């Protein structure tokens, strides 16, 4: 039996250190599931593992793409599953680590299949968004798929402010003449591995303090200079990321530098809250305090493995 040991949790909680400890214990490799650590031009602001950490265990999907590539979660699902299957040929264990809930779900559960959308429809939706803003997309979804709009509003309201997601919902509705929700849950995606989900958490004040400290460290390590080199390409989708957006506003003269740094901290704290909301929907996840002794987590995983073997 093959086991995908999956580590989730909010940013700055200590997932990288735990993943390396588990990879060393189970003598296996790590697949990153962080949607911004894929990009080689973004290092400091995405908290890419440092060289010592990268050398402590073999990592995959770290800085393997360029911000100039159109890399989607669907692309990642195909490539990561192929890599995981390859790794399982030589080992019964692979570590999956990430704070990007959508990408974790892509690996564990897969996505529903949608028809191809006419590029002209996509262009029209994009044009209308540029003219009328996010409210256009919200109104379109509310009119064309009120059931799904209500579901988002209730369960994940921040998605209503996400232009990429909202444009996708809208173009599917317009391009197919059917509700986006009608394409959901049509098929079962089978996986040839058993997921073992581990979550790291802490008291909110602890998480927020760790985030504030990480941002200060990033600034000391040169985040301002890194953002400056990326500023000419600030419109790229990959750069619509906390830590860069706020500094771009500083370069535009909209923020002072101290205010931009405070905004990075505030927006990262908000992001961590959304991460926890997403991950805690999965009742299969076993949650541990971030300061839990790693041996205790390893013992829990070993117990799960032994139980699985005894039922074979």
Ligand-binding annotation for 13, yes or no, is yes
Ligand-binding annotation for 74, yes or no, is no
Residue 247 neighbours by CB under 8 Å, 6+ apart? 223, 224, 227, 228, 231, 260, 264
Q: What angle do CA 4, 8, 13 make, to 5 degrees?
A: 140
The C-alpha atoms of residue 303 and residue 308 are separated, in whole angstroms, by: 9
Residue 39 is classified by DSSP as B
Ligand-binding annotation for 10, yes or no, is yes
Ligand-binding annotation for 9, yes or no, is yes
Residue 90 neighbours by CB under 8 Å, 6+ apart? none
Ligand-binding annotation for 12, yes or no, is yes
According to DSSP, the residues that pair with 194 across neighbouring strands are 3
Helices (H), the chain: 15-26, 51-56, 73-88, 101-108, 119-132, 134-144, 146-155, 163-176, 204-221, 223-230, 245-251, 257-279, 294-310
Rounded to the nearest 10°, the torsion over CA 105, 279, 208, 24 is: -70
According to DSSP, the residues that pair with 200 across neighbouring strands are 288
Sign for the CA dihedral angle at 230, 124, 154, 108 comes to negative
Contact 124, 162 (CB under 8 A): no
Ligand-binding annotation for 14, yes or no, is yes
> In a 3-state reduction of DSSP, which class is residue 196?
strand
Contact 285, 8 (CB under 8 A): yes
According to DSSP, the residues that pair with 199 across neighbouring strands are 8, 287
Ligand-binding annotation for 176, yes or no, is no
Residue 244 neighbours by CB under 8 Å, 6+ apart? 42, 45, 227, 230, 234
Binding residues for substrate: 11-16
Binding residues for ATP: 9-16
Binding residues: 9-16
């Amino acid at each position: 039996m093959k086991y995908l040991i999956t580590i989730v949790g909010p940013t700055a909680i200590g997932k990288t250190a735990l993943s390396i400890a588990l990879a060393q214990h189970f003598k296996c490799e790590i697949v990153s599931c962080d949607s911004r650590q894929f990009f080689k031009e973004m290092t400091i602001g995405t908290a890419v593992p440092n060289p010592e950490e990268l050398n402590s265990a073999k990592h995959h999907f770290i800085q393997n793409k360029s911000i100039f590539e159109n890399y989607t979660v669907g692309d990642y699902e195909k490539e990561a599953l192929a890599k995981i299957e390859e790794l399982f040929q030589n080992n019964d264990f692979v570590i999956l680590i990430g704070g990007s809930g959508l990408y974790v779900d892509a690996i564990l559960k897969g996505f529903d299949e949608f028809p191809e959308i006419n590029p002209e429809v996509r262009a029209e939706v994009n044009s209308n968004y540029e003219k009328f803003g996010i409210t256009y997309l919200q109104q379109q979804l509310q009119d064309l798929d009120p059931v799904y709009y209500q579901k988002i509003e209730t369960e994940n309201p921040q998605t209503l402010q996400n232009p990429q997601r909202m444009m996708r919902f809208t173009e599917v509705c317009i391009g197919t003449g059917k509700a986006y929700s009608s394409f959901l849950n049509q098929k079962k995606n089978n996986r040839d591995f058993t997921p073992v989900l581990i979550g790291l958490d802490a008291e909110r004040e602890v998480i927020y303090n760790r985030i504030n400290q990480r941002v200060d460290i990033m600034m000391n390590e040169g985040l301002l200079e890194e953002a400056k080199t990326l500023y000419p390409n600030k419109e790229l989708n990959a750069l619509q990321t906390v830590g860069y957006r706020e500094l771009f506003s500083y370069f535009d003269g909209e923020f002072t530098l101290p205010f931009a740094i405070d905004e990075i901290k505030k927006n990262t704290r908000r992001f961590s809250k959304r991460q926890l909301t997403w991950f805690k929907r999965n009742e299969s996840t076993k949650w541990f305090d971030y300061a839990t002794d790693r041996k205790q987590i390893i013992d829990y995983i070993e117990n799960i493995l032994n139980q699985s073997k005894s039922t074979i």
